[in-house]
């Protein structure tokens, strides 16, 4: 495994992949820890997560610097990611016991109720784009519910993986309750088949999701999949265009556009399309590209060279197929994996930019005839993670948003995750939910108890 600085292309560190004995030891430790951890009172689990939250805040600068250096995130965004992890830990520390409290149901029994009991050990397969938050939003609910967890992190963020392992250990979690596995994708498939793994949660690409679902399904193991997204950002004719353009630029280029819930398809009603496109171009043109470690930088590098090459091929092929290049459209010269902020107009079916997810700083504009056509375009996509709609009439926006095929719809706001709200998608964006009460109930045995 290699840790590479995306801003410079410099190799930072290399790590050896674990052998079979090391993987076996970690799986055994997770299995051995289950009984003790399940018997640990909720109050003690909550105390440990509050300890983690305090540690994250105390060392925000260190962890944010590690995130920024290893995957290229802007330093201010990295700090926000660390803070969000602390919030997620505190949220489940505060609410975990209440969410899993026995529910009494009146039946013909003397007593009948629903119990929410841990499944066992969960394998988390996590991506590089939010290397701390993606892990905590899976780990906090799963561990608060009494499960143990083993993490297979993305191979491009090994330093983040090791830091997460240290955070749980330093907070006082018992050995085996959480551990990072330095393993390959092939070894992850072996772990899925291991009888000591009871469930799998994955955040990643559609292809990875299909592979994990197939492997876990063959073993009859529960999965939660949070996959790709090609979120619609719908601008109706009565929208505040300045606000929609400013938020649209931020929503497209958060994390250099490398976010499953980034606004990707800008669907604009025709009569205001030219005006909106000009505003969006103005916002993206003004962004300062550069070193993500510097406070003034607004657009950092992409995480890896191969990801930049893939994005550029999608842009190039779409332009060759008839898309109009309004802005950017090429890598930024010099060291590092930078790509210029890009806008494609006149995008249509059959073009890669229309049919595929663009995971980087590229916005596509789709021109709709009217509101009904905007809805058709929003739903004409195999993904269904998030969506937003912009209008001065919030009731109109609500009616529209309910009809969009997505796991979340925002009216006059940027799509974002929040520990208090369920997060997940439909269609090729996956299934199951993270966060909120729904996230903590994904990896439990919803058990009927009937007593006479």
Q: Single out the residue of 436, 432, 430, 372 nearest to residue 404, CA to CA.
A: 372
Is 60 in the same domain as 172?
A: yes
Is 85 in the same domain as 173?
A: yes
Q: 357 lies in a domain?
A: yes
Taking the C-alpha atoms of residue 341 and residue 360, their distance in angstroms, rounded to an integer, is 9
Is 143 in the same domain as 81?
A: yes
Is 413 in the same domain as 438?
A: no
Task: Report the pLDDT value the prediction gives residue 97, as an integer from 0 to 100.
Answer: 98
CATH of the domain at 181: 3.40.605.10
* pLDDT tier at 298, thresholds 50, 70, 90: very high
Owner of token pair 């909106």: 276
Q: 424 lies in a domain?
A: no
**Residue 226 annotated to the active site:** yes
Is 54 in the same domain as 153?
A: yes
Q: What is the mean pLDDT of residues 169-174?
A: 98
Q: 423 lies in a domain?
A: no
Task: Report the pLDDT value the prediction gives residue 24, as an integer from 0 to 100.
Answer: 98
Given the residues 90, 206, 226, 371, the one annotated as active site: 226
* pLDDT tier at 225, thresholds 50, 70, 90: very high
Backbone angles phi, psi at 358, to 5 degrees: -105, 110
State the residue range of the domain holding 171: 2-227+429-451
Percentage of residues in the chain having pLDDT higher than 90: 100
Is 180 in the same domain as 323?
A: no
Task: Report the pLDDT value the prediction gives residue 306, as an integer from 0 to 100.
Answer: 97
Do the beta carbons of residue 425 and residue 226 sit within 8 Å?
yes
Task: Report the pLDDT value the prediction gives residue 111, as an integer from 0 to 100.
Answer: 98
Q: What is the mean pLDDT of residues 210-230?
A: 97
- Read off the tokens for 72: 């290229």
Given the residues 81, 85, 260, 356, the one annotated as active site: 260
* pLDDT tier at 355, thresholds 50, 70, 90: very high
Residues 6+ apart with CB under 8 A from 205: 227, 228
Q: 215 lies in a domain?
A: yes
Is 183 in the same domain as 235?
A: no
Q: What is the mean pLDDT of residues 316-339?
A: 97
Q: How far from 267 is each of 250, 271, 319, 362, 377, CA to CA, in Å?
A: 16, 12, 18, 14, 7
> How many structural domains is the chain composed of?
2
Task: Report the pLDDT value the prediction gives residue 210, as an integer from 0 to 100.
Answer: 97
Task: Report the pLDDT value the prediction gives residue 292, as an integer from 0 to 100.
Answer: 98
Give the CA count within 13 Å in the CB-facing half-sphere of 64.
22
Task: Report the pLDDT value the prediction gives residue 114, as an integer from 0 to 100.
Answer: 98
**Residue 160 annotated to the active site:** no
Task: Report the pLDDT value the prediction gives residue 421, as an integer from 0 to 100.
Answer: 98
Residues 6+ apart with CB under 8 A from 143: 37, 45, 49, 149, 173, 177, 178
Taking the C-alpha atoms of residue 117 and residue 445, their distance in angstroms, rounded to an integer, is 5
Is 252 in the same domain as 288?
A: yes
pTM of the entire structure?
A: 0.97
* Per-residue pLDDT tens over the stretch 77-135: 999 999 999 999 999 999 999 999 999 999 999 999 999 999 999 999 999 999 999 99
Is 283 in the same domain as 372?
A: yes
Is 29 in the same domain as 7?
A: yes
Do the beta carbons of residue 52 and residue 89 sit within 8 Å?
yes
The dihedral region occupied by 356, where left means phi > 0, alpha psi between -120 and 50, and beta the remainder, is beta
Percentage of residues in the chain having pLDDT higher than 70: 100
Taking the C-alpha atoms of residue 347 and residue 365, their distance in angstroms, rounded to an integer, is 7
Is 181 in the same domain as 126?
A: yes
Is 179 in the same domain as 272?
A: no
CATH of the domain at 387: 3.40.309.10
Do the beta carbons of residue 120 and residue 246 sit within 8 Å?
no
* pLDDT tier at 293, thresholds 50, 70, 90: very high
């Amino acid at each position: 495994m290699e840790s590479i600085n995306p801003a410079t292309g410099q190799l930072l560190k290399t790590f050896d992949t674990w052998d079979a004995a090391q993987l076996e030891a970690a799986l055994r430790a997770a299995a051995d820890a289950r009984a003790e951890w399940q018997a640990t009172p909720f109050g003690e689990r909550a105390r440990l997560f509050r300890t983690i939250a305090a540690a994250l805040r105390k060392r925000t600068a260190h962890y944010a610097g590690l995130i920024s250096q290893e995957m290229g995130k802007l330093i201010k965004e990295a700090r926000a990611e660390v803070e969000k992890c602390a919030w997620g830990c505190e949220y489940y520390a505060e609410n975990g016991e209440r969410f899993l409290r026995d529910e009494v149901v009146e039946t013909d029994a003397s007593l009948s109720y629903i119990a929410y009991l841990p499944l066992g050990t969960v394998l988390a397969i996590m991506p590089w784009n939010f290397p701390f938050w993606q892990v905590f939003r899976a780990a906090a609910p799963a561990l608060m519910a009494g499960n143990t967890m083993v993490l297979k992190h993305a191979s491009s963020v090994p330093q983040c993986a090791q830091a997460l392992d240290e955070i749980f250990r330093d907070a006082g979690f018992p050995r085996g309750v959480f551990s990072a596995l330095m393993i390959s994708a092939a070894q992850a498939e072996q772990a899925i088949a291991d009888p000591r793994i009871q469930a799998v949660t994955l955040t990643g690409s559609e292809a990875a999701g299909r592979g994990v679902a197939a492997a876990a399904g063959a073993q009859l193991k529960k999965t939660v999949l949070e996959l790709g997204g090609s979120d619609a950002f719908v601008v109706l004719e009565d929208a505040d265009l300045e606000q929609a353009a400013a938020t649209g630029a931020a929503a497209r280029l958060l994390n250099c556009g490398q976010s499953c819930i980034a606004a990707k398809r800008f669907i604009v009603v025709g009569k205001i399309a030219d005006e909106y496109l000009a505003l969006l171009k103005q916002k993206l043109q003004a962004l300062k590209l550069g070193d993500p470690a510097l406070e003034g930088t607004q657009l950092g590098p992409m995480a890896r060279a191969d990801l930049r090459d893939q994005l550029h091929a999608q842009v190039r092929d779409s332009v060759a197929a008839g898309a109009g290049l309004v802005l950017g459209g090429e890598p930024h010269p010099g060291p590092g994996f930078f790509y210029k902020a890009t806008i494609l107009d006149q995008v249509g079916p059959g073009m890669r930019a229309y049919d595929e997810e663009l995971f980087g700083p590229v916005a596509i504009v789709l021109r709709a005839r009217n509101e009904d056509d905007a809805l058709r375009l929003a739903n004409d996509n195999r993904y269904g993670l998030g969506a937003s709609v912009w209008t001065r009439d919030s009731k109109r926006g609500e009616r529209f948003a309910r009809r969009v095929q997505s796991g979340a719809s925002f009216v006059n706001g940027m799509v974002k995750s929040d520990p208090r709200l369920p997060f997940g998608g439909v269609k090729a964006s996956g299934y199951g939910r993270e966060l909120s009460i729904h996230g903590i109930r994904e990896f439990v045995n919803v058990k009927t108890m009937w007593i006479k």
